[in-house]
Structure 1
Amino acid sequence: MAAVRWSHPGTWLLFSLLVAPHIHVVVSLEPITTGFTIVAAMALTGYLSSEIYCGWLSECCQVNKPFDSTALEDDLTEKLFGQHLAHEMIYKSLTKFLSNENPRKPLALILYGRTGTGKNLVSKIITENVFDLGEKSKFVHLFVSTLHFPHDNLITTYKDQLQSWIRGNSSECARSIFIFDEMEKLHPGIIDAIKPFLDHSNNINGVSYRKAIFIFISNAGGDLISRMMPLIFNSGKCREDLKLKDVEDELYDDLYNNRNSGFWHSGLIEKNLIDYFVPFLPLEFRHVMKCVLAELRLRGLHKDERLAYRVAIEMTYVPKDTKLFSDKGCKTVAAKLDLIL
């Protein structure tokens, strides 16, 4: 065992408070050092409330923190545009899951559709409504396919590392959030490494995963959705009348049978371990306008409909004959706004 060194006077004071309460210790300390050391000692000895400790000194897991569904609804309404299906599904699924003290399995969501339609935004909204630090929380873990799993010849290694990472972080916080981005670029089969964690199990080797949240983000299905939308419009339905049942069968098959979806013949889909398939529809000009206005509000600028129109009209729209949908959704709105400003 390594020898203990008192490298800082505050360390000795902390030791004296916790381990040797009957020994009188007099140490000359700077006021600031004394303050922080005493606060830390109070936290560890129970004199400091968990609320102050978790909010000031450290981030705590807080698995049983009450969930504010109203705040989630407000965020989705104010920030997510043109996605009535995603809005409804995310609100209901997250509210139901986070209000359940004893869920049967982790929550698993697939967010899929064209780029720029709000998938990463929804992921951000979810993290911010679960943890005060949002995406910066140490309990939120983001995996990007091209960054974390770039080499096809290391699939076995990636699977082992992925399982180890999920196991270790779930043991630290049962409410951990795991986000997998760019699923369409992930080598088929890698994602099945997490299949045991998504099943209906009380625990695996002493670790419970039932309160964890898994979010899979993919651009797969975007082209199919874009092809389906005009057909739905031509049948007499407007966008807001669209129901999940109108599109889910074809989109489900596309994810499972498409080699470039990240879920090709995946056991996660085959064994019904994905709780919700959340489609994101292509955005129209009116939705891009709302994105511009939201960006202005985010920058602290006043509402300017004329400026929003100028930015929205600069975007490219497809298909060429009708120009119904924004080619990149709202993804380049901030850059276009910078150019015009």
Structure 2
Amino acid sequence: MAAERGSRLPSGRCLVLLALLFGSVRCLEPITTGIAIATASALTGYLSSPRFYCRFAECCEEDRPFNATALEADLNKKIFGQHLANKIILRALNGFFSNPNPKKPLALSLHGWTGTGKNFISKIIADNMYPLGMESKFIHLFISTLHFPHDSKIQLYKDQLQSWIRGNVSKCERSLFIFDEMDKLHPGLVDAIKPYLDYYDHIDGVSYRKAVFIFLSNAGGDLITRKVLEFWKDGKSREDLQLKDLESVLSVGLFNNKNSGFWHSTLIEKNLIDFYVPFLPLEFRHVKMCVMAELKERGFEPDEGLAGEVAKELTYYPKVEKLFSDKGCKTVQYKLDLYI
């Protein structure tokens, strides 16, 4: 009897049951069956398409155009006193992502004293590569003292590092790897990733040419500061400094410095670092800019007088000239708390 009652269902209701419950086509006429199957097929195809899926889950958009205009706006708005770093990073990333077939991954090595903007600029790059920024599953941060703390486990770390990079680039060619505290990294460990930075089309079926590697280090800060101080003593503006004034000094200094993370590294020896990006020491006026930006971030009106008072709370060097903040802008937000 149940079967007889089912056979008398109107075709419209049967189609609804088909779509929502069982997917059964036994109660449909041949033409209706064809329509239902075609509709279901089209719907299945749409639901399983990357375009639909990527609305609800993060996707690796390897061919998504890079918005250099947005990156430039972020750098100009958020990074102060770093005309060289801003220009180099903008041109390097724009050129790299504009090339549909790069010969190797992009490798940037950022150097300068703490608080000058190295970590901040890495975050800006991450934000411009993927909407989730540093929270993206395609962006990977390694901190030397956290991920590689023991000198006795160097070989284990090398194996893990290679496995991690290989696995993540296999999932997404446009991956970003950030290595922080390079000056605290055991010498020789970074050479484990040398094959992935070299000029290979594929390694074991995996292409690394669209990946980006960024190294952050305080090493080289002394060399940079010395050069900026020389410019000042010669009556030149820091804005007159060019990359050629610092790049060769940095590469040689890092290669011969046991505390750089790049001591006798094949990455430098084989010229696999594309740009050595110098971060200049920040002056009083730049610290004031940082305070103004922090005020705006907290929803306050910019106040130059207050910014100057907060900037005076920081210490400056050399002892006589007192030109540069010894911590950059790193403690600005805490100093500001004393006034708000």
Q: What TM-score do the two structures reach when normalised by structure 2?
A: 0.87
Alpha-carbon spacing, 1:225–1:202, altered in 2? closer, same or farther (3 Å): same
Which residue in 2 is equivalent to 1:323? 322
Provide the rounded CA distance (Å) in 1 between the counterparts of 2:166 and 2:180. 19
Question: Secondary structure in 1 aligned to 2:96?
Answer: helix
Question: Secondary structure in 2 aligned to 1:46?
Answer: helix
Q: How much has 1:52 moved relative to structure 2?
A: 4.5
Q: Which runs of 5+ in 2 are unaligned?
A: 1-17, 27-40
Provide the rounded CA distance (Å) in 2 between the counterparts of 1:123 and 1:229. 23
1:215 maps onto 2:214 in alignment? yes
Which deviates more, 141-150 or 291-300? 291-300
Contact 2:46 2:52 (C-alpha < 8 Å) held by counterparts: no
The residue identity in structure 2 corresponding to 1:232 is F
Which residue in 2 is equivalent to 1:88? 87
Provide the rounded CA distance (Å) in 2 between the counterparts of 1:103 and 1:302. 45
Alpha-carbon spacing, 1:22–1:214, altered in 2? closer, same or farther (3 Å): farther
Which residue in 2 is equivalent to 1:279? 278
Q: How much has 1:322 moved relative to structure 2?
A: 0.6
Contact 1:43 1:53 (C-alpha < 8 Å) held by counterparts: no
Contact 1:43 1:50 (C-alpha < 8 Å) held by counterparts: no
Provide the rounded CA distance (Å) in 1 between the counterparts of 2:162 and 2:255. 22
Contact 2:66 2:97 (C-alpha < 8 Å) held by counterparts: yes
Q: Which runs of 4+ in 1 moved over 3 A?
A: 20-24, 41-45, 47-52
Q: How much has 1:330 moved relative to structure 2?
A: 0.3
Provide the rounded CA distance (Å) in 1 between the counterparts of 2:48 and 2:189. 45
Provide the rounded CA distance (Å) in 1 between the counterparts of 2:164 and 2:271. 23
Q: How much has 1:83 moved relative to structure 2?
A: 0.5
Which residue in 2 is equivalent to 1:297? 296
Alpha-carbon spacing, 1:23–1:139, altered in 2? closer, same or farther (3 Å): farther
Provide the rounded CA distance (Å) in 2 between the counterparts of 1:249 and 1:268. 14
Q: Which runs of 5+ in 1 are unaligned?
A: 1-15, 25-40
Which residue in 2 is equivalent to 1:206? 205
Instruction: Give me the CA root mean square deviation.
Output: 1.9
1:54 maps onto 2:48 in alignment? no
What CA deviation, in whole Å up to 9, does each residue of 1:228-287 have, x standing for no partner? 222122223111111111222222211110000000000000000000100000000000
The residue identity in structure 2 corresponding to 1:196 is P
Indicate the percent of aligned positions where both proteins have the same amino acid: 62
The alignment covers a number of residue pairs equal to 307
Alpha-carbon spacing, 1:208–1:316, altered in 2? closer, same or farther (3 Å): same
Question: Secondary structure in 1 aligned to 2:173?
Answer: coil
Which residue in 1 is equivalent to 2:150? 151
1:260 maps onto 2:297 in alignment? no
Which deviates more, 102-111 or 228-237? 228-237
Provide the rounded CA distance (Å) in 1 between the counterparts of 2:70 and 2:53. 24
1:246 maps onto 2:241 in alignment? no
Contact 1:54 1:60 (C-alpha < 8 Å) held by counterparts: yes
- Structure of greater Rg: 2
Q: How much has 1:22 moved relative to structure 2?
A: 5.2
What CA deviation, in whole Å up to 9, does each residue of 1:98-147 have, x standing for no partner? 11111111000000110000000110111111101111100000000000
The residue identity in structure 1 corresponding to 2:53 is Y
Q: How much has 1:21 moved relative to structure 2?
A: 5.4
Q: What TM-score do the two structures reach when normalised by structure 1?
A: 0.86
